[in-house]
A = this chain, B = another copy of it.
């Protein structure tokens, strides 16, 4: 059983509401939008990701006979309703920001327009997919900005939250600008470059550290990155220097060393000195262990001679912000704009578009969120990607998505690129304020009679 493709990977209330829509004959078109409500201080921007998996999910949406049989066995649903699910497919339209687009709170990055049952049913999994990859891409972008021109590798699979999280974190971080991942499956599935060195266990299983280095070099002659912190980092660096001539005679070149514990910057400086003195100035230093974007910034600001970083747990769990306050909300039904006004959770109604202006220096200069029917200056960020359940174009190559992300990050206002406190201007257009006010007035009067 693959949980990633089962339609039962949803909340029970989607199915109970669908039973309701079925009984009531509610089949009109609904418009739902996915957006992030707010970001906590210290986080200035987001990077959209997860659209590809979302569209793939919509394309294959269906109930298997076994799933329907099991639903029947719960005795929660009527036979007529379950029969109606047999042929259910996603036949709606999707508008979205391309993956790798920078965005901000209150800006929808995906809009679903479909018969209400379909649009409702997919809520849980769409949030689940968009949330995860957007979360990780947004986190990864911060390391990319803090360590430009360094080798950045996702090492987080082991502490990612489950299989899909590790696989898609590799994808999301690659989109954001990471060089690659240690997760082999991400190489096979997405063609993401793979990186890997050796673990302490390889050293420990040998009686002698230098012998372990030599053995590993012969087993992986094209990828000799030696882990040197198992017992004494500087002593191990000297062993590397001593070993190098012997390996050279065997035609093997040491590519790098990895340091995984202690004061990484200080060890890197000492190890650099040892390697250089030993004629190994071509050997790169790779650091790992409890790293995040701030650790990278501080190490590089201190001039630590580190050429690459393995970023693991903090990346794959987005440890400082392990979730986004993101939702998928009904904005229109049966041709009429809708709004919830729950305390602290009110929504802006209607089908929306986001327009972005760029300054003379090609940096982002401010966004406007408004109704689709209210064009504004600037670039519209939501584009049609699916119509009648079919994609409008084949999925872009991952390399293209990654380039789009790089361009998008390059156009961030400078304070955001430096991860400084900065509030980017996102204007809610007058048209939206007016529509919201009209709906509120009608709702208070007991109805929502507004035609959009």
Contact = CB atoms under 8 A, between A and B. Distances in A.
A76 B4 CA distance: 30
Contacts of A169: 161
Contacts of A65: none
A67 B188 contact: yes
B17 A199 contact: yes
A163 B9 contact: yes
Interface stretch (A333-341, A359-367, A426-434): A333-341
A341 B220 contact: no
Interface stretch (A82-90, A94-102, A127-135, A242-250): A127-135
Contact of A219 (B23, B135, B202, B323): B23
Of A158, A183, A197, A333, chain B has the most CB atoms within 10 Å of the CB of: A158
Contacts of A179: none
Nearest to A131: B159
Contacts of A218: 20, 23
A162 B168 contact: yes
A194 to B, nearest CB: 5
A91 interface: no
Contact of A74 (B194, B198, B317): B194
A392 interface: no
A313 interface: yes
A231 interface: yes
A155 B24 CA distance: 26
Interface string A153-190: 00101111111111111000000000000111101110
Given A184-B9, A204-B339, A220-B19, A344 B161 contact: no
A159 B127 contact: yes
Interface string A416-447: 00000000000000000000000000010011
A163 B30 contact: no
A333 B22 CA distance: 63
Interface string A333-371: 110001111111100000000000000000000000000
Nearest to A337: B204
A316 to B, nearest CB: 8
B19 A219 contact: yes
Contact of A205 (B76, B116, B203, B262): B116
Given A3-B4, A4-B162, A116-B201, 17 more contacts: A1-B2, A3-B164, A4-B164, A10-B185, A13-B196, A30-B201, A32-B201, A74-B194, A123-B201, A205-B330, A205-B333, A207-B449, A229-B342, A231-B342, A232-B341, A261-B342, A322-B322
27 contacts: A2-B4, A3-B4, A3-B166, A3-B185, A6-B185, A8-B185, A9-B185, A10-B157, A11-B183, A12-B196, A15-B184, A17-B198, A20-B219, A20-B220, A23-B218, A30-B205, A124-B157, A128-B159, A128-B163, A129-B162, A159-B324, A161-B317, A164-B165, A230-B340, A261-B344, A317-B317, A322-B322
User: 5 closest Cβ contacts across the A-B interface?
Assistant: A12-B196, A162-B164, A20-B219, A262-B343, A161-B161
Interface of A: 1-4, 6, 8-17, 19-24, 26, 30, 32, 67, 70, 74, 76, 116, 120, 123-125, 127-129, 131-132, 135, 155, 157-169, 182-185, 187-189, 194-205, 207-208, 215-216, 218-220, 222-223, 229-232, 260-262, 313, 317-319, 322-324, 326, 329-330, 333-334, 338-345, 443, 446-449
